[in-house]
Amino acid sequence: MKRNFLIVEDEPVARIMIKKVLQESDIELGEIYEAENGEVGIMVLEKNQVDVMLVDIYMPVMDGIEMLEFARDHPAYKDIPAIVVSMENDEKRIDAIVRKGLGFVHKPFTKDLLEKEIVKTTGN
């Protein structure tokens, strides 16, 4: 089953890296949408079918946590699996992210690590 991904990341190089990992993975890909902050990410959600979100935390305009909280409070987006892809090192903050039912991948990441977290978070 092909899945559409939304990459929300303010660093263009990081977006390219995540997209490349997705394209080289064994995951059946549909569309890959990109957004440079949470506000643009919400606009992408409103206009497209998104099956999985990969979201950075620290971004200008609207950060990833704010965007994910918006998505969790919205009936149309609340069940979309999401993985935080971040350089966050604070174990308490990472634990809080995981307790919310979100996946977490620390940057820098490997293809295998990101792919495993996608499978774990989406259930397939």
Relative to beta strand 103-106, strand 82-86 is parallel
Please, what sign has the CA dihedral across residues 110, 111, 115, 121? Answer: positive
pLDDT in tens, 95-121: 999 998 899 999 888 888 988 999 898
Tally of structural domains, the chain? 1
Percent of the chain at pLDDT > 70 equals 99
pLDDT in tens, 31-62: 999 999 999 999 999 999 999 999 999 988 99
- Residue numbers of the domain that contains 90: 3-122
Looking at the whole model, is its pTM more than 0.85?
A: yes
Cα separation, 124 vs 121, whole angstroms = 8
- CATH code (residue 57): 3.40.50.2300
Cα separation, 105 vs 118, whole angstroms = 10
**Which residues make beta-bridge pairs with 84?**
55, 104
